[in-house]
Chains A and B, each alone.
Chain A
Amino acid sequence: MSGSWDGQHPHDLLAAYGDGELGVAERMAVAAHLAGCRACRAELSDAIEIRALVRSLPDIEPPAGFYERVLVAGPSPRGRTHRRARVAAVNLVAAGALWIGVLGVLGVRDGTSITPDLRSLLGQHTTLATVGSGAAAPVPVAAPRSLSGDYVLVRAMTVDGWPQYLYEDAEGRTLSVFARPGRLREEALPTTRRAVAVNGVSGWAVTIDEQEVVFLQKPGSVVVLVGDDMRDATADAAMEPILERRDDLGIVDQLVGAGRALLETFGLAA
């Protein structure tokens, strides 16, 4: 007999017995035991009752419009479901600039500035952005960091009115790049922050919930890069003490500033 008998009782076999999942020999052995063991009969009865309870649970209705949105926009990587995102028209220039920026960040070492081959990278990325999501071969990126991978641009959008770009690799990992108006409160960053420079722009890399996040200060705006696994609530909570918001500018000026910061940061202004 198998090791599923616990001493004199066939505990681990009772569920299988109730489910009709035992072979003849085991079924007969358990049945013989049950005939003389009130405790095991009660245990089996409980298991059957619980099984019936679970099986009676209703199907779950997805939230209204969930699948409709997925069918329109395509499935999104984890953690993006609740971004209140509206897909905006893709700005190819900005997207190209950001792709270069992503490559720059992926290749950067702490405190080191890297100037990627802008012309060839831009050419590759313009093709990707023109063809659209998922249709082109990804660009291989070899980087020492956890963010390394073969990423393609999958979406340009606005989140709460601000531009945001999502990149994805074949394993579904994502890299999110966005800008917010305001000033980086460096004093509020964790003491474990590391100095980085991306395309000549100084900034900080910090680790939040085991996730690397890069903050870059531009005049009037903060550019942020986060990798996979960072959820909205966590990212928002992390941003709150670090970002000093600007109330002295109108929304249009703030938007323009954020967009300009993205462009300038990733070196396409020239």
Chain B
Amino acid sequence: MTDLSPPEGAPPRSPSWEDIARDHGRFLYTIAYRLTGNHEDAQDLVQEVLLRVRRGLATYQPGSLEGWLSRITTNAFLDDVRKRKRRPFEVVPELPDRVFGVDDDPDEALQRSRLPDDVQAAIRSLPIDFRTALVLCDVVGLDYAEIATATGVPVGTVRSRLHRARGQLRQLLGPMRAEVGP
């Protein structure tokens, strides 16, 4: 995970959009990509976040750059989802069709079924709320209280969404294991 801590001894300050792009660009891009699931939308989302930072639309709280940036990104993402609700975000996932031969080793087959692209495709197939909670928790590394703040829901809802998100991922990625089992 990208370290967003300010340099030791450096006074906290509100980062500029150029700071974000220059110093935390990879971190921001990773969140954007995991949320949107493709490079085109990720680039749009990153630019939207930088625009919001440039306009000072989000108040920076010194010491919580990860949470602050995640909150802006989440808000921008969810705003876009609401604006583009016609887009098929919740379609059946486009997981690769894989048929394993009878001689395949089950462990190797399972390993192959969980390549990063497969996992990303499964994440993208999750409902927006589940996906957002999952990305904030397991990609960004926020705790539940921070996720609740970023998404504007109670902590209990975060618990539920995370559990269901992981359960759905398990279902999406799991059948491959079942196919090769005895």
A binds B: yes
Residues from chain B with a CB closer than 8 A to the CB of A46 are 166-167, 170, 174
List CB contacts (< 8 Å) of B32-73 with chain A: 33-34, 39-40, 42-44, 46-48, 50-52, 54-55
Q: How far is the CB of B169 from chain A (nearest CB, A)?
A: 5
A47 to B167, CA, bound (A): 7
A35 contacts partner chain B, Cβ-Cβ < 8 Å: no
Check A77/B25 contact, CB under 8 A, given A13-B159, A60-B34: no
Nearest CB on B from A208, distance (A): 12
Interface pair A59/B160, CB less than 8 Å apart:
no
User: Which residues of the partner chain A approach B123 to less than 8 Å between Cβ atoms?
Assistant: 54
The range of chain A's interface size is 35 or more
Q: Which residue in chain A gives the minimum CB-CB distance to B80?
A: A78
B116 and A19 contacting across the interface, CB-CB below 8 Å: no
Given contacts A47-B167, A58-B116, A60-B30, contact A19 B162 (CB under 8 A): yes
Q: How far is the CB of B174 from chain A (nearest CB, A)?
A: 8
List 28 A-B pairs, Cβ < 8 Å.
A4-B160, A11-B163, A12-B156, A15-B159, A15-B162, A15-B163, A16-B144, A19-B162, A21-B144, A21-B159, A47-B167, A47-B170, A50-B166, A50-B170, A54-B119, A55-B139, A57-B139, A59-B2, A59-B26, A59-B27, A60-B29, A67-B22, A75-B17, A76-B47, A77-B47, A81-B43, A82-B43, A209-B86
Tell yes or no: B128 within 8 A of A by CB: no
Tell whether A248 is near chain B: CB-to-CB under 8 Å: no
Task: Indicate with 1 or 0, residue by residue over A1-36, a CB within 8 angstroms of chain B CB atoms.
Answer: 010100000011111100101000000000000000
The reply to whether A71 and B22 form a contact with Cβ atoms under 8 Å apart is: yes
Within A39-82, which residues are at the interface with B (CB < 8 Å)? 43, 46-47, 49-51, 53-55, 57-63, 66-67, 70-71, 74-82
B21 touches A71 (CB 8 A): yes
Give 1 or 0 for each of B62-92: 1 = CB within 8 Å of chain A CB: 0000000000000000001001101000000
Nearest opposing residue in chain A for B135, CB measure: A54
New A-B pairs, 12, CB < 8 Å, besides A47-B166, A70-B21: A15-B159, A19-B162, A43-B167, A53-B114, A59-B27, A62-B26, A67-B21, A70-B46, A77-B48, A78-B47, A78-B80, A81-B47
Instruction: Indicate if A170 sits at the interface (CB-CB under 8 A).
Output: yes
Question: B18 in the interface, Cβ–Cβ < 8 Å?
Answer: yes
| Per-position binary interface string of chain B over residues 122-148, scored 1 when its CB falls under 8 Å from any chain A CB and 0 otherwise | 010000000000100111000110000
Inter-chain CA distance A25–B99, complex, in Å, is: 46
Contact A19 B17 (CB under 8 A): no
Number of interface residues of B (CB under 8 A): 52
Within 8 A of B (CB), among A76-106: 76-82
A172 in contact (CB, < 8 A): yes
B→A interface (CB under 8 Å): 2, 17-18, 21-22, 25-27, 29-30, 33-34, 39-40, 42-44, 46-48, 50-52, 54-55, 80, 83-84, 86, 114, 116, 119-120, 123, 134, 137-139, 143-144, 156, 159-160, 162-164, 166-167, 169-170, 173-174
Q: Which 6 A-B pairs have the closest CB atoms?
A: A75-B50, A15-B163, A54-B138, A75-B47, A60-B33, A15-B162
Confirm or deny: A210 has a beta carbon within 8 angstroms of a beta carbon on chain B: yes
Q: Which of chain B's residues has its CB closest to A75's CB?
A: B50
Q: Which residues of B contact A66 (CB under 8 A)?
A: 29, 43, 46
Q: Return A262 CB to nearest CB of chain B, in Å.
A: 26
Cβ-closest chain B residue relative to A12: B160
Residue numbers in A under 8 Å from B54 (CB-CB): 74-75, 134
B159 with A16: CB separation less than 8 A: yes
B29:A62 contact, CB within 8 angstroms: yes
